[in-house]
Amino acid sequence: MKISFIVPSRNNLKYLKWMYDSIRKNRGKHDVQICVADDASTDGTWKWCMDMMEYDHNFAAIKNEGPDRLGLVILNDRLINEVAKYDICMVFHADMYLMPGALDQVEHKLRENTIVSLTRIEPSLHPPGPEKMLFDCGIEPEDFEEQKLLDWFKDIQLEQLTKCTEGIFAPWAFYKKDFQEIGGHDVIFAPQSKEDSDIFNRFQLNGIKFIQTWGGCVYHLTCRGSRFNTFSGGAPGQDSEEWLHTTTSNMKKFIKKWGTPVQHDEFMKPIISPVYKKKIIINNSNPKIEEALDIWHNGGEDIIIEVDGNRFDNEDYRHIQNMNSIIKGSGEIGEFELGNLKVRINSLETYEKELICIS
C-alpha cells in the first residue's frame, strides 16, 4: 500500500521526531510519505523539516510563515490537495506512535467510500471510553516505555485482529477522492475545533462507511498539539485558554450549521438529526435572550418558533435545544404550544444533505 501521512504541527518538534521514528520503524512493507505542515513554529520545526527533506526522499513539508497560525482546517487540506502524492492519505497527529501492523490493517479494510480509523491506546488523561484502550506507557516522548507497550500489545493484538466498530476519529485513513468530493474541511471552523465532527457528518451523509479497526492501533500521548499544548498555555490534563476559546466559538458555529451540538454514539459514530429551516421570533426581547437563541435558528421560514422574553425559562431553552428532534417526532404541519413557546410548522422538508459539499 502507498499512503501519505498528513501532519500539521505547531511547536511540536519533539513529538514530530518521536512520531516520525515510529512510522519509519513500524511501516512494514508499505510505502509511506510523511507530509508535515509547519504552522509558524518557533521551536526549530522548519529547520528539522528541511533537514528531513534532504535525508528522506519520502518526506515533504510546507511552511506557514506566520506570525499567526493557520490551523488544522487550512493545513490539513493543503497537505492533502497540494503535497500528498498518493491516492490514500491518513490524518495523523504528532503525538501519536504508530503501532506495528497498523498499516496492514488499513490495507486490509480500506476500500473506496470507506474510512478506517486506528484504535487509540492512551494514558488515563481522559476518562475511559469504549472506543479506546487505556494503558499508561508515558505522557512524554522522553518518558515513553516502548518495550512495555510492545510486550503488552503483542499479547492482546491477536484477540483484536477481527474486532471492528464504526467510530471515526484521528488517525483516519481515506481515499483522497472521497475527501475532495465533499470539498474537504469547512473553513468556518478555522483554525481548528469541531472541524472533524463537521466533516465526519458530511462523509456519513455522502454514503461513506466508517470502520474502526482494533487490530491496528496508535499510542496517543493525548492532545499535545491542541488542548494540552504547552506553547499555548496548556499542560498534560490542562486545557489551554486558546483551545477553550476556539472550541466554545466553534461549537456555536456547529450548532448554527447543524441545528444541534456534536452528536455521536458510544463508539464515536456520528448521529445526525434532520436539519430544518427555522426562525425564532422573540417578543419582549432583550440582548441576553437574543444572544442565547441566535445559534439555534438559521433564518428559515419552514419552522417558526415564537418566544415571549418575559416568560422564557430554562425549560423553554431545553425545548429550543431539542427542537429538531421535537419537529421530527411531530410528523405533521400545523401549530402547537410547548411550555411558553408557540411553534408553527409550515414545512417538514429537511436540508442536511445540502450541507455535504463545501464549494
Whichever domain contains 108, its CATH number is 3.90.550.10
Distance CA 144, CA 139 (A): 7
Distance CA 304, CA 279 (A): 5
Q: Looking at the structure, do residues 289 and 251 belong to the same domain, yes or no? A: no
CB burial of residue 54 (10 Å; 0-12, 13-18, 19+)? exposed
Residue 265 lies in a domain: no
Query: Within the chain, which residues score under 50 in pLDDT?
Result: none
- For the stretch 164-208, pLDDT in tens is 999 999 999 999 999 999 999 999 999 999 999 999 999 999 999
Q: Looking at the structure, do residues 299 and 234 belong to the same domain, yes or no? A: no
Q: Looking at the structure, do residues 178 and 303 belong to the same domain, yes or no? A: no
Q: Looking at the structure, do residues 19 and 147 belong to the same domain, yes or no? A: yes
pLDDT at position 227, please? 65
Closest by CA position to 211, among listed 298, 113, 301, 140: 113
Q: How far is CA 79 from the centre of its chain?
A: 16
Task: Give the C-alpha distances (Å, rounded to integers) separating 203 from 95, 113, 152, 207, 358.
Answer: 25, 9, 34, 7, 12
Distance CA 214, CA 270 (A): 19
Domain residue limits at 286: 278-355
Residue 264 lies in a domain: no
**Global confidence as pTM:** 0.95
Residue 270 lies in a domain: no
pLDDT at position 321, please? 95
Residue 269 lies in a domain: no
pLDDT at position 243, please? 75
Residue 272 lies in a domain: no
Domain count, the chain: 2
Q: How many residues are given for the chain? A: 359
pLDDT at position 228, please? 64
Residue 164 lies in a domain: yes
- For the stretch 13-37, pLDDT in tens is 999 999 999 999 999 999 999 999 9
Residue 266 lies in a domain: no
Residue 135 lies in a domain: yes
Name all contacts of 262-268 with Cβ < 8 Å and 24+ positions apart: 262/194, 262/197, 264/167, 264/197, 265/167, 266/129, 266/130, 266/131, 267/130, 267/131, 267/165, 267/166, 267/167, 267/212, 268/131, 268/167, 268/168, 268/169, 268/212
Q: Looking at the structure, do residues 105 and 248 belong to the same domain, yes or no? A: yes
Q: Looking at the structure, do residues 228 and 288 belong to the same domain, yes or no? A: no
Contact 57, 27 (CB under 8 A): no
